[in-house]
Amino acid sequence: MLDSLFQPIYTSTSELTTSVYVICSLVSIVLGAVIAWAAGFKSRQSKGFLLAVMLLPVIVQMVIMLVSDSVGAGIAVMGAFSLVRFRSAPGSAKEIVSIFLAMATGLATAKGYLGLAALFVIVICAIMVISNFVNIKEKDDLQRELKITIPEDLNYAHEFDDLFGKYTKQAKLMNVKTTNMGSLYKLSYRVELKSEDDVQAFIDELRCRNGNLEIAVMIPPIEERVL
């Protein structure tokens, strides 16, 4: 029974009938909807992107069915698809995976491997959904931007070295600028904390050094991973 999942509902030697085409198209649309749901699960995706992912399998299926008997047409279609990359904005890793999954699904349904396509989509989408519940602590989670305002008479070069050694793994001075007619300095650091629980104590000790002037600890802007 399990082997039947890997058998196509039609072969290249058999004639493609209307009923077979309709069945393949319906399966492509349903699997595309599953992929779109998994791609948008706990993730901010535009309506247009989700709609494109849902319809991509049936579109790829239609193209493959039309050019399956023509090598020249297949090469021409391949060239047309390659142009899409140069007209598209860079996407995140999850978006790229969703697009390739949708295309692979369309290829499978175009060849009649409906059971294989369904099994493939279910497994990959399950992994995508489960990954949203796995909390992997990354190094970037402890990265912070630290802004300290100090009086002009304070030598900032090594004033905070002991505090940085106590509360951070590394600290780098990124920017220095004057403010308030030159009577104050604003220092910007990129630091990696040892622990998020020590932020308040870190700020309190910094306040003792800078005369209780303004201090800000912020999460750096998130840079989306693109492919």
pLDDT confidence of residue 47: 87
How far is the C-alpha of 58 from the C-alpha of 143, rounded, in Å? 44
pLDDT confidence of residue 14: 61
pLDDT confidence of residue 227: 47
CATH annotation of 140-218: 3.30.70.240
pLDDT confidence of residue 95: 84
Amino acid at 47: K
| Sequence spans of domains, the chain | 2-131, 140-218
pLDDT confidence of residue 82: 60
**Structural contact between residues 68 and 12, judged by C-beta atoms closer than 8 angstroms:** yes
Amino acid at 172: K
Q: What is the mean pLDDT of each run of 10 residues along the chain (227 residues)?
A: 69 73 92 93 84 90 78 60 55 82 89 89 92 70 89 88 92 91 90 88 92 90 54
pLDDT confidence of residue 171: 92
